Amino acid sequence: MKTNLFLFAAFVAAFLSVSSFSAAQVTIGGGDQPAAGAVLDLNSTTKGGLLLSNVELTALDEIPATFPNAGAIDKQQLAGMVVYNTFDYLEPNGDGLYVWDGSKWNYIGGSDGMLAHTTIPAPNCSPAVPAVSFLAYNLGANAAELNRLYPGLSPAKQQMAYLANHDFNELDACVLGGMFQWGRKDHVHAVKIPEYLRYDGADNAITGQTSDAIPSNGKFYYGNYHNWYTGSDPDALWGNGVSIGTAIAGGIYSSNTNYYQKPVKTQYDPCPDGWRVPTQDEWERLTHYGCGTPQSAGGDFSTTVSGHGTINSGFTWIPVVCSSGTGQCIPSNSWTDDVTSSGYAVYKDSVWTAAKTTGVYAGLTDLNVSTTFTAKSLHDVNAPEPLLFLPSAGERNAGTNGNVHAVGTYGLYRSSTIGTGTYNYAIECIFSGVYTTYDNIYRAHGISVRCVKE
């Protein structure tokens, strides 16, 4: 976006000579008298609108340094100033219109780009199972840039298009997002903002652990595989701190005594306001849709290549490989670490079935894709429409030096459900299958977060 750094007062002064009826009222455009009570009346026979300054706000309590004489500005005198913020990652609301109240920026509306989401509708079950809404992007991804580059595509196709048109880079957070240690709220340890790059190795890392619930710095803690936190009640940092084998009153499926915890957002949850880290049960909803008994601890979803991704409950998970060499994302079960970008595209069964029968993938029976299908990229406008795209974003190792690895090999996504000891549950996406009861992820490792709506 182009940036127009005009303060509102300067804008008014530039047009005082256009049409003035009194010292207190001004009309810009047209020849009519200003409306009663209006200090400035935009009145033009040429249809258009007021284009506000496009600025990048990175902190709610700061005037941008790009403003003229920012260091000498009396912040209180700017109370009432309105701008359009282009910095999508500004919490809690992202890009959009903001007004300065003298001490901080207040959100008053916008495109809600970062908060685009997909809702998994509620099946007609008894007891009731609610709908679950997943964010369309990984936490820490650059939704504003993806919207700018590919405005006509859905969020899932935007991400595939980016991976297919940019050289593989395991530290590029635009689609991959940040790498979060379980139980931490700050984003500083997870992704560089506003560069949208991921940290690697000793960069922004520190050896050792902390006893504080909120670290005194934003660095990534490494040197222990198990947990970065040594304080009291570590289970309560995220979610409700309840293991998968414990039933909680008010849970999603409370009549089931073996699983389904009640979702809770804590003060340390890293997701935007109104969103939280999903429970393991909510991840299962994305692989087991319907009223049947969900998978208990120890179960998984895994299939052979020939039937890869088809789930009896309404969703199809398709392994995807994207290559900048071809500019395409194609269905494939061949993933290679540090060579090509990959992930899973999730479709409604009916959508994927139609694509394989009469659509662009007609005749596809095996995901070891032949050359017949390589020209049909999954991000094309006429390709089937995915519900979600989950990139294989890898992980950041907490046991040795904080290195990023396995990007393009597997995706790991946090849940708020605790496992035994210092583990927690996560969803694991690898080319051979998708596992929603993967419970041996150390909390200290940095992995992806995909938020759900409260």
DSSP string, 55-101: E----TT---TTSTTGGG--GGGGTT-EEEE--TT-TTT-SEEEEE-
Between residues 138 and 49, which one has the greater pLDDT?
A: 138
Q: Residue 433 is inside which H or E element, if any?
A: strand 433-442
Domain boundaries, the chain: 8-109, 113-454
Which tens digit of pLDDT belongs to each residue from 95-105? 778 899 988 88
- The stretch 276-290 carries a mean pLDDT of 76
pTM for this model (two decimals)? 0.74
Which tens digit of pLDDT belongs to each residue from 324-376? 888 988 887 777 666 778 999 988 877 888 887 877 777 776 555 554 555 57
The pLDDT of residue 30 is above 50: yes
- Yes or no: say if 220 and 396 are a contact pair by the CB < 8 Å rule: yes
Between residues 372 and 262, which one has the greater pLDDT?
A: 262
Closest Cα to residue 390, out of 424, 343, 430? 343
CA distance 125 to 325: 47
Which tens digit of pLDDT belongs to each residue from 219-261? 888 887 688 887 777 888 887 666 655 555 555 443 333 445 5
